[in-house]
Amino acid sequence: MNDYRALITLCVAGFAANVGFSLLFPVLPFYAEGMGASPAEVGLTVAAYSYITAVALIPFGILSDRVGHRRMLIAGLLVSSLAPLLYPLAGNLAQLNFVRAFHGLASAMLLPPAVALVLNSASPDRSGEALGWFGTATQSALVLGPALGGLLLGHYGFKAAFWSCGVVPLLGLIFVLFRSNAIQPIARREAPTGSSLRWLKQPRVFAGLVAPFFFTMGSGTILTFMPLYGEVLGMGATEAGVLIAALYGGSALFRLPGGKLSDKIGRRPVILAGLAISGIAIILIPFVNVFSGLIAVLISYGVGMGIAMSAAYALVADLTPPDMRGLTMGMTTSFLHGGLALGPTIMGIVASMSNYATMFRACSLSLVLGFAVVFGLTQRQR
């Protein structure tokens, strides 16, 4: 690794931002339901964050290439700290959706420069490893966040959860400000032209872009509806937080091994293996009705996602210009948040028309489709 100090700083920033972001996973479904939301409306409310993030990631990625990645990283952490303070002020679903959308701008501002700077901290032959370290940090945050959110909601109520959601990114912002000199800037450039976007014509680039989309179709559905599905099975908010944490715990444990493995044997087999593992796991959810069994299934889903996600980001980085990484990482993360948005929205409609068990069965098809698409796109240029 070229610069461990920069990588550590970025891992702490990503950890803090994701703890705040994921703290609301087991909180928002109950908050929206308390306002009278149906399952479809709950899905839309949770997904509003990711809709805005998905749309804004690419322009913010381009902007970060032009104004500087460190500046955009700091701005993203600042918005992450302020946006949660607005949740308690929402008096109805429309206002809650607006706040959720504003909160989504934080991820759009933060993620492209953070991942671009992570890649800048490593040599090209160790990019998967660097992304694995960053992914381990951010996924570990997604383990802590839901568990903490469930505990805060269960013992102290909604306001405590929302305030905590803002405090954690603020601590990350303070840490980054004290260590900003450790982060090496990437050379700025003008906005990309048509001739500089030829890399987009490569099928393998699209394989790396769409793989996160299919994973988060499933994980977005799980994090949105597992609290309500658990309630049907007699589980409370604390158990729901632990279940979501189990998914991201499996993901965190395998981000680094997956990144290292993809450096050694190639991106394609690692991505396909992850899609297969996660696809099998989500099919099993409707057949499990005990807490311990659900934990095992969700850990398995996280393992598949963890193995493949670093490889997918590294695949895109392998095939794109280093000085356009804000844009390229913004595009990859845009697909990721597209899945987080569309998964709950579509599956919320399925749940409203049928039940949660049918919804999870339907959601498994997204992983099957993802395997077929990635296999086909990478097969052409083996």
Report d(CA 156, CA 152) in Å as an integer.
5
The residue ranges of the chain whose pLDDT is under 70 are 1-3, 184-197, 199, 380-382
Angle between helix 237-265 and 127-156 (nearest 10): 180
Residue whose tokens read 């703290």: 23
Query: What burial letters (b/e) apply to 19-52, b meaning 16+ CB within 10 Å?
Result: bbbbbbbbbbbbbbbebebebbbbbbbbbbbbbb
- Where would I find the H helices in the chain? 4-22, 28-34, 39-67, 69-82, 93-120, 127-156, 158-178, 203-232, 237-265, 267-284, 291-318, 325-353, 356-379
Which amino acid type is present at position 167?
V
pLDDT at 277: 96
Answer whether 16's CB lies under 8 Å from 138's CB. Answer: no
The answer for residues whose C-beta is within 8 angstroms of residue 238's C-beta and 6 or more apart is: 150, 151, 154
228 close to 239: Cβ distance less than 8 angstroms: no
Q: What is the pLDDT of residues 195-219, one digit of tens each?
A: 456 767 788 888 998 999 999 999 9
The one-letter amino acid code at 351 reads: A
Phi/psi zone of residue 59: left (φ > 0), alpha (ψ -120 to 50 degrees), beta? alpha
**Cβ-contact 211, 275 below 8 angstroms:** yes
**Are the C-beta atoms of residues 66 and 191 closer than 8 Å to each other?**
yes
Distance CA(28)–CA(21), nearest Å, equals 11
d(CA 256, CA 137): 10
pLDDT of residue 196: 56
Q: In angstroms, rounded to a whole number, what is the distance separating the alpha carbons of residues 136 and 256? A: 6
Closest CA to 107 of 138, 149, 148: 138
Task: Supply the Cα-derived Rg of the chain in whole angstroms.
Answer: 19
CB atoms within 10 A of CB 154: 16
Angle of the 203-232 helix axis to the 267-284 helix axis, nearest 10: 20
Residue with tokens 């509003």: 48
Amino acid found at 67? V
The model carries a pTM of 0.75
Which fold, 4-180+200-379?
A: Growth Hormone; Chain: A; (1.20.1250)
Query: Of 243, 208, 203, 209, which Cα lies nearest the Cα of 223?
Result: 243
SS3 of residue 170 by DSSP: helix
pLDDT (0 to 100) of residue 382? 42
